[in-house]
C-alpha cells in the first residue's frame, strides 16, 4: 500500500564534515538522508574541528543552505568535547544551533553535567546526552545503566529536561520509564540496530557489528521493542556513523565503532515494528516526525514522503548513497520501502 506522510526527521546523524570527508560529507549525507525518507537531520558536533563556537556553527549552517535536504547542527556541550568546560550555550543558540550534545563522548563529571542541564534549560535548547562510561571494560550494560541513572537523577535535581541518546538495555528503558512516571522531564531515543540485532551479530559480521553503545542480548532487544510500544522511548534515530572500508576491516579492538543508518532505519522499523504488530503505523510515524519535531521545537513544513508499506526488497551495497557502506543490513530483506522524498525548502 502506498502511503503519504510528513518528511522524516533524524535527530542524530554523524556526517563527518568537516575533518573526515573521506567517510561522509554534507552532500553525500544529504543524498543518503533523502534516500531513506529523511528531509531533516541534525548533525552531531564531533567533527574536526569540533563545532563548539558560534563562529563554527554559523559557518556550518551557511554551508547547509544549498543542500537538497534540510540540515540542522548540534553544538558541542563542552569545549573540544573534553567534558570539562561548558561552551556558551546562549551564543551557540544565537548562531543557529538546534541542540546541544557531546555525542560520541559522555560528560563524566557530574557537576559539569548538572551545569549543562541548567544552562540548556535557560536557553531553551535540548541537551542530548551520550549516557555511557567508556572506561568500564567492554562497555557492558553497566556502563550505560549507571550513567542513565545518574543523568536522570541530575535532571530531576536540576528540574531540567534531558534527552538520552541510543538507549540499548532493558534496565535503561525501565529507569527512564520510572523517571517519566515520577515527573522527570526526560525523552529518549533508540536505533534500529538495537531492536533488529543482538550481540551475536559480531560472530557473523565482525567489526561491522561494532557500535557504541554495543549491541545487547535478546532480552534487551525485546525490552527495547516493549519500550517503543508503551511510549517510554519517544524517538527512533539513526546514529548514522560512516567509516571507511579500511577502518572497518581492522580487528575488533582497533576498528572504530559505528554503523550507517540513514538509508535503512525507516525500512527496518517498518519491518521489525509495524509488520510484527508491535506498533501501529501512526505510533511508528510519530517517532520519526511529531516527537523529534517537538523535541527540537521545529516548525511544520510541507516536506513529505511516499512509501510502499508492503514492498519487499533486499539491501545491496549498490543501493547505498553514503560514501561508506559499513552497514549490517546489507543482504537483509525489508518489508516497506521509500518511493519518494520531497524536501520543500
Catalytic residues: 239
Nearest CA-CA partner of 84 in 110, 61, 65, 104: 110
The cell numbers describing 303, all together, are 516536506
Judged on CB neighbours under 10 Å (0-12, 13-18, 19+), 250 is middle
Query: How far is Cα of residue 108 from the mean position of the Cα atoms in its chain?
Result: 20
Packed helices 141-158 and 110-123: angle between N→C axes, nearest 10 degrees: 50
CA-based diameter of the chain, in Å? 52
Give dist(CA 277, CA 210) in Å, integer. 29
Tell me whether strands 99-101 and 127-129 are parallel, antiparallel or unpaired: parallel
C-alpha cell at 97: 544551533
Q: Nearest-5° angle of CA 343, CA 314, CA 304?
A: 15
Amino acid at each position: 500500500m502506498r502511503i503519504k506522510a510528513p518528511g522524516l526527521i533524524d535527530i542524530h546523524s554523524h556526517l563527518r564534515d568537516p575533518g573526515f570527508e573521506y567517510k561522509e560529507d554534507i552532500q553525500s549525507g544529504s543524498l543518503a538522508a533523502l534516500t531513506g525518507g529523511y528531509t531533516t537531520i541534525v548533525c552531531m558536533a564531533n567533527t574536526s574541528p569540533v563545532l563548539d563556537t558560534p563562529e563554527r556553527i554559523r559557518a556550518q549552517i551557511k554551508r547547509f543552505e544549498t543542500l537538497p535536504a534540510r540540515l540542522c547542527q548540534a553544538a558541542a556541550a563542552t569545549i573540544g568535547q573534553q567534558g570539562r568546560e561548558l561552551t556558551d550555550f546562549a551564543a551557540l543558540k544565537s548562531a543557529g544551533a538546534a541542540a546541544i550534545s557531546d555525542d560520541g563522548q559522555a560528560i563524566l563529571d557530574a557537576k559539569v553535567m548538572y551545569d549543562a542541564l541548567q544552562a540548556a534549560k535557560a536557553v531553551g535548547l535540548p541537551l542530548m546526552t551520550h549516557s555511557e562510561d567508556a572506561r568500564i571494560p567492554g562497555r557492558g550494560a553497566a556502563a550505560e545503566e549507571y550513567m542513565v541513572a545518574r543523568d536522570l537523577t541530575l535532571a530531576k535535581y536540576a528540574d531540567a529536561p534531558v534527552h538520552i541518546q541510543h538507549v540499548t538495555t532493558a534496565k535503561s528503558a525501565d529507569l527512564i520509564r520510572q523517571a517519566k512516571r515520577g515527573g522527570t522531564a526526560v525523552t529518549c531515543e533508540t536505533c534500529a540496530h538495537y531492536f533488529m540485532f543482538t550481540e551475536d551479530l559480531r560472530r557473523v559480521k565482525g567489526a561491522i557489528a561494532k557500535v557504541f553503545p554495543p549491541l545487547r542480548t535478546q532480552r534487551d532487544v525485546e525490552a527495547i521493542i516493549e519500550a517503543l510500544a508503551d511510549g517510554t522511548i519517544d524517538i527512533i534515530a539513526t546514529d548514522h556513523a560512516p567509516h571507511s572500508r579500511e577502518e572497518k576491516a581492522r580487528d575488533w579492538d582497533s576498528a572504530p565503532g559505528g554503523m550507517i543508518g540513514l538509508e535503512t532505519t525507516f525500512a527496518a522499523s517498518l519491518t521489525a515494528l509495524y509488520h510484527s504488530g508491535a506498533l501501529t503505523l501512526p505510533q511508528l510515524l510519530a517517532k520519526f516526525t511529531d516527537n523529534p519535531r517537538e523535541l527540537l521545537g521545529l516548525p511544520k513544513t510541507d516536506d513529505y514522503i511516499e512509501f510502499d508499506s508492503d514492498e519487499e526488497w533486499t539491501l545491496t551495497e549498490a543501493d547505498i548513497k553514503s560514501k561508506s557502506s559499513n552497514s549490517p543490513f546489507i543482504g537483509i530483506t525489508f518489508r516497506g520501502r521509500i518511493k519518494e522524498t520531497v524536501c520543500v525548502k
